[in-house]
A and B are shown apart, each in its own frame.
Chain A
Amino acid sequence: MKRESGGEQMEFQGKGPDAWTVGGHRFSSRLLMGTGKFQDTETMVGAVLASGTQIVTVALRRVGRNPREDDMLGPLGELKGITLMPNTSGARNASEAIRAARLGRELCGSPFVKVEIHPNPHHLMPDPIETFEAAKVLAAEGFVVMPYMPADPVLAKRLEDVGCASLMPLGSAIGSGRGLATAEMLRLILRDARIPVIVDAGLRSPSEAAAALEMGCDAVLVNSAVAASGDPVAMAAAFAQAVGAGRNAHRAGLMPQGGGTALATSPLTAFLSVEGS
């Protein structure tokens, strides 16, 4: 048993390979990683590697007067099999997000963009209207649009309709660590979604990530849960294992919940006759 191998997702014993597709691109890892809040680049890169992730979000900032800060793109760009996904975090409205997306594409060379628009700097909840507007424009420009969104089933279909490549509903507020507070909404979104559903924000523990996958989500994105943990590299590996376990469980089919219906004293079906016609 390879317990020490960080990032390796356990092979599913039963059915075949389990890749997922978004925006026409195929991925095997169902764990996406954010790169913010880490103490240093080295830890961040270590965690990314340990997670086995293939999609990593990054943000854009202006180059300072004295550009001696760490360069993100270098170390990340050197890793094989990683797709960089700029987020538009910092944008407070659609036009700012659209601008950020275009800059991000120029810098990363990747058509992926995570549309993230949170005008309120405290709870950081995504603005549904600005997000929709930005997604519409960017999808038309050929971006692979992954919108960070409130877990709203109707908004989900509207974003699908305008050409988003996936949905990224929040589990709970960014950094709150409240897990899958939106579970019931996520179920509704999953029921009718035609594009991948990636739970993003609010996850704190690997078990929550597993639960998201068990529920039927296609992937999860974690950032704070790893960066702010005691040992980010180890935690990243733990998340990878949890995502694999959750996915395997979903494919295997969970046993039914207990609590069967107690039969009423007078049966409801007494009226059914035996006669044929």
Chain B
Amino acid sequence: MKYLIVLLLGLVVGSAAAGAVLYYNPFLVTADGVPNPSDRVLHYSLPDDVLAFSFGNDARYFGSDPGDDGLWEETIDRTAVLGLVLNDDDNQPAAVASRLMAVSPDSNLLMRGVVVSDYWLVTFPGQGTLFVRADTNAWRFLKEALLPVWFLDRPWNGPSEYWPTVGPGTDDNGVVVGLSGDFRGSEGSVVERYELTTLDPHRQSALAEGELRLNLDLSGPQVAVQP
């Protein structure tokens, strides 16, 4: 009996030590992006510019109920679908985006963090449609904001800025491909930046200002890439 207690105690101590290592894991620290002055910047505010948001039971960031119309099926319960208006620098609507998100198979808490595969369709009315593919690392947001503030009721030291894009293109950028209209055949890179401006679990309030920064070569080859 004494050995069993010691064994269990040892397992708990070992697991706790590993948990601390994971929490402060230096491999999961990602560098902030550097703004490129030639980027075309599209802006969004959350939740003001959200057209629709559906998510599965296991994709709940803020503990909200996905409801009867949510993505409840087992095959899509770690998936989310977001409709969004994107604005230009003058804060005028410039595009409508559909953002399909799913937890990436590349996620691991030891070397990469919690990676979300992001698939955007961005349509500029009268101009054309872009496909944006990005890997988004949610670990820093989860570790610094969501877990301690939203779920553990710790004080928040915000506002906080995040550059979550970690691939799959070169230099940890996402990939953008022109599908139709003026963008057809073009290709380029993309990064996302957002600033969490309010996080108040008592008022159930989370506000953010985001940017999608596109660097698009409109004179690119007339062949779509396979990201």
Q: Does chain A bind chain B?
A: no
Partner-B contacts on A (CB < 8 A): none
